[in-house]
Chains A and B, each alone.
Chain A
Amino acid sequence: MPLDTEKTDPAWAWAAYQPDAQRPWDLRLAGHLYRRAGFGASWPQLQQALREGPAKTVERLLRPTEDVAALNRLHDEFEGAMDPESESTDTLRAWWLRRMMETPHPLLEKMTLFWHNHLAIPRNRAVHGLSVAKHLQLVRSHALGKHDQLLDAAVHDSAMLVALGGKVNRKAQPSLDFARAFLEELTVGPGHYSESDVQGVARAFTGLMVVRHRFRFVEREHDDGPKKILGRQGPWNGHDAVKIALAQPSTARRVVAKLYRWLISETEPPSDTLLAPLVEAFANDYDISGLVGTMLRSNLFYSQAAYRQRIKSPVEFAVGIVRAMETLVSAEPLGHELAEMGQDLCHPPTLKGWAGGTCWLTDATWIRRNNLAWAMLSGAEPYAGKLDPWAVARKHGFGTLVKAGRFLADLFLQGDLSAASREPWERAIAQVEAAKGNPSTTVRTLAHLAATLPEFQLA
């Protein structure tokens, strides 16, 4: 339901949701939370969320008790073994997808993806694969940390410098491309800086170099003279430029608005009034985890203004199916397939990241989604029967075809089907009852139908 964000009371919107008789905590909301804070839930996760309530589930999503560090260390090692000379990130893409499918901390990967989109490194300039891997690890390590530390680390690193045209920042020839991208895309945004700010930022970043794919600060190339950035005068360096740009209210507002689109709704842009309390807090403490937590706990998040007000990206679509099926699939062919649907991880189209939203879906990408879901759920190559909806249904005690069908509707859609979808779904269940074939195959067909209902494309 569209929300008039001008008229919504921010105090109500951002206060923590308390389930009551009118707005009970149910399967629908648990599924909603898991889609936004992760890549969708498995059946045990939905059940656990129902038992524990929203507050505890959000806490678990933010700070899981499982050993996340061990998994991430292992994956970091795998990524470190990439070909150091190659620009290809196909392997890296596969490892990341694998991490998304496997991690006990899906919110961390979801936020890594958020920052990957915000601090986008387009690949029109030659960036080495290993530099991209390092960049992603850096982003992940701060993804739920502090915005100031994240941005400072990201711009003092090889991948962003090369991708944004700041490979060489000499005193005699500061890189205006890099400085402009820093102001335009990473911080204050269009309309909040002047050409002289670009000059100032470019001079502040002099001395930053990428030599043999590694970041270096070359003291003698740094211009330590006074410069003016966004109204402040001083002998600024790169770290200062980051601090100054972050202190601008427009930077905090921008990130908060992007995160609103990411976690709450992409249909209605939020008003300044609605965002004001979050912007104020974030401009003060840069605390990403705090901001994410506030959003995920809020009344607004559990309202119609947020429910199914996003379109799943290809990655969310595919990883969601895999996680619901409690398994892993071969990530390399999956990475290729998702790239064909427009989401080539590690290859955002431009500095602005992916346009997302309704741009994800056209006739062509719909056909690919349909066929990917079929490839995964039909038990065919290259996913080789890793997904077995009949086995999952029986494991959770849904041992007849009809029960398995209802289970799948609950698992994939929390039973929330529109009238237009309910009709064919019920028809399919009726057909299943009459079916005489192999139950495993029949349930595969049902699972595929569930994954290709319009509702399932919404996050």
Chain B
Amino acid sequence: MVLSRRDFLKQSIGSSALVSASASLPCFLARTAAAVPSQVPRDDTILVVVQLAGGNDGLNTVVPFRDDLYAKNRPTLCLSGEKLHKIDGDFGFHPQLKAFYKLYQEGLLAVLQGVGYPNPNQDHPHAMRVWQSSHIKPDASQTGWLGRAADQIYHPPSARVPAVYVGQIPKPFTMRAERAIVPWVRSLDQYGLKGSVGEIRSAASDDSDQGRPSSRHEAAGSPPPPDTLLQFVQRVAVAAQATSQQVEAAAKASRGEYPRLQFAQTLRTIAQLIRADLGIRIFYAELGGEEPGGFDTHAGQALNHGALLEQLSESVAALANDLKQDKLLDRVILMTFSEFGRTVAENGRRGTDHGSAQPLFVMGGKVRGGLIGKHPPLDDLEGNGQRAHTDFRRVYATLLDDWLKIDSRSVLGEKFRRVDFLRT
């Protein structure tokens, strides 16, 4: 079988977008890349995890407006029924979650209610570490659950990274992996190759296929030999140049409209990286900033909380619309979480304190939209917050096994029952 140079590149880098970029690739490198065996076909579902730092008040996010106990516990923060975006006769989204309500109506958004773990920790860094490591006792955890997932996807020698963190605060622990070096992307400018190396190399191109190292093996019909170390590095150099060009092209082609909000811009960057088709399977983003985080609303909660929810929902909806345009939404699932929910009762300062269970949002083309799981009753509390009935690791396990197709046991250390929020 004789393959064209384009086919070789496509196989060795595993990217379709590269085909268009390969014309300008330096041929001397393209030839060495041609000697490289093709990689296994990519399984290209994508997970975006969004951290809401501070402890989101789930009770004022998805509101049980008919529950008398709700009004009783929230003398000033109570959101009345008429302002809410009503899901049914009992529940409604916060007034500033208009965009989420629309996604919900379209069947793209699921609300997983009552998620947490027994005896929840109520200290910010500790609780965040629990969610980021997936270990209830996280002291000994050296890696994050998404870092471990990245390591499961990553098979060195590989020229591609399986996971990326996009954000403005330092890379969170959850992306810490044993092997994979997860990039921290603040801006797509980082993908630009500086210097004039590209020009010199491109000028050194030729049109012939002379010296193609793999020709002998092709003739014999046997697979090419494994990479030498030098061949691997050459392959990475080609991939890097292709990556740089693909990101530039994807950024230019970007048509999606995003609100002028920091978090929306983060999601826009993620959409561009998805479009650049770099083989990234896991993205991590954050809203709320560094510890203790913007969702930590101990006093004067209403305004801040509303603004954050609006930023969250408008930005996620913009991402959904953007991805829909290229039929990418079926490949992407976004999940939000916070380190804990908040107390059911408000605290006398028009705020709430650290609680326990919370609702998670899951959005995507393959999500089974709707309210999933019961709203935890307001008369059976744990740590003054709502009592969790769904272990958060069941949600992780579902995303790992059924979405990313990674054995969840290898990431979480044990098996968890799945939660039914994916369409089959």
Contacts and interface: CB of A to CB of B under 8 A. Distances in A.
B40 interface: no
Nearest to B156: A358
Nearest to A377: B195
A431 B203 contact: yes
B301 interface: no
A3 interface: no
B264 to A, nearest CB: 24
B204 A427 contact: yes
A194 B208 CA distance: 62
Given A267-B229, A359-B156, A452-B195, A349 B176 contact: yes
A370 B200 CA distance: 14
A31 B31 CA distance: 28
Nearest to A380: B194
A342 B211 CA distance: 35
A375 B190 CA distance: 13
Interface stretch (A106-114, A254-262, A360-368): A360-368
Nearest to A360: B181
A435 B201 CA distance: 17
Contacts of B192: 367, 371
B239 to A, nearest CB: 4
A434 interface: no
Most chain B CB neighbours (cut-off 10 Å) among A367, A445, A449: A367
A427 B161 CA distance: 32
Most chain A CB neighbours (cut-off 10 Å) among B143, B156, B181, B192: B181
Nearest to B170: A339
B92 to A, nearest CB: 41
Interface string A212-225: 00000000000000
A457 B233 contact: yes
B133 to A, nearest CB: 8
B203 A359 contact: no
B195 A125 contact: no
B181 A359 contact: yes
Contacts of A363: 159-161, 236, 239-240, 242-243, 278
Interface bracket on A: 35 or more
Contacts of B244: 367
A366 B140 contact: no
B104 interface: no
A391 interface: no
A308 B229 contact: yes
A67 interface: no
B415 to A, nearest CB: 23
Contact of B211 (A177, A419, A427): A419
A418 B213 CA distance: 13
A349 B232 CA distance: 24
Contacts of B160: 362-363
A137 B191 CA distance: 37
B243 A357 contact: no
A55 interface: no
Contacts of A371: 192-195
Contacts of A361: 159, 232-233, 236
Most chain A CB neighbours (cut-off 10 Å) among B176, B190, B196, B233: B233
Given A122-B142, A363-B278, A370 B181 contact: no
Contacts of A360: 181
B232 A358 contact: yes
A352 B233 contact: no
B156 A366 contact: no
A95 interface: no
A424 interface: yes
Contact of A445 (B180, B195, B237): B195
Nearest to B179: A355
Contact of A349 (B143, B236, B239): B143
A310 B233 CA distance: 11
A349 to B, nearest CB: 6
A424 B199 CA distance: 10
B323 interface: no
A420 B29 contact: yes
Interface in B45-64: none
A102 to B, nearest CB: 27
A458 B211 contact: no
Question: Which 3 pairs of residues, A with B, have the shortest CB-CB distance?
Answer: A342-B181, A366-B240, A424-B204
Contact of B230 (A368, A424, A449, A458): A458
Given A362-B159, A363-B160, A374-B194, 10 more contacts: A165-B139, A165-B140, A311-B233, A341-B181, A358-B156, A358-B157, A359-B180, A363-B242, A371-B192, A424-B204
A367 B142 contact: no
B90 interface: no
A351 interface: yes
A355 B182 CA distance: 13
B234 A449 contact: no
Interface in B244-278: 244, 278
A370 B203 contact: no
B197 interface: yes
Most chain A CB neighbours (cut-off 10 Å) among B141, B193, B240: B240
B26 interface: yes
Contacts of B158: 358, 362
A124 B141 contact: yes
Contact of A370 (B140, B176, B197, B239): B197
B184 interface: yes
B205 to A, nearest CB: 9
Interface string A105-137: 000000000000000001011000000000000
Contact of B200 (A125, A350, A431): A431
A428 B196 CA distance: 10
Interface in A289-330: 308-311
Contact of B240 (A367, A423, A428): A367
A80 interface: no
B290 interface: no
Nearest to B125: A126
Contacts of A355: 156, 178-179
A424 B28 contact: yes
A330 to B, nearest CB: 18
B173 interface: yes
Nearest to B176: A349
B270 to A, nearest CB: 15
Nearest to A120: B142
Contact of B142 (A124, A311, A449): A124
A352 B178 contact: yes
Contacts of A424: 26, 28, 200-201, 203-204
A229 B267 CA distance: 54
Contacts of B184: 340
A378 interface: yes
B142 A349 contact: yes
Contacts of B139: 124-125, 165
Contacts of A349: 142-143, 176-178
A374 B234 CA distance: 19
B183 interface: yes
B32 interface: yes
13 contacts: A124-B139, A165-B140, A308-B229, A350-B143, A360-B181, A361-B159, A361-B233, A362-B236, A371-B193, A375-B194, A420-B32, A449-B196, A458-B233
A350 B180 CA distance: 12
Given A366-B239, A418-B230, A424-B26, A448 B161 contact: no
A448 B197 contact: yes
A311 B229 contact: yes
Contacts of B204: 423-424, 427-428
A272 B31 CA distance: 38
Contacts of A358: 156-158, 229, 232
Contact of A367 (B31, B32, B177, B243): B243
A378 B233 CA distance: 23
Interface string A424-459: 100110010000000000000100110010110110
Nearest to A456: B233
A357 B181 contact: no
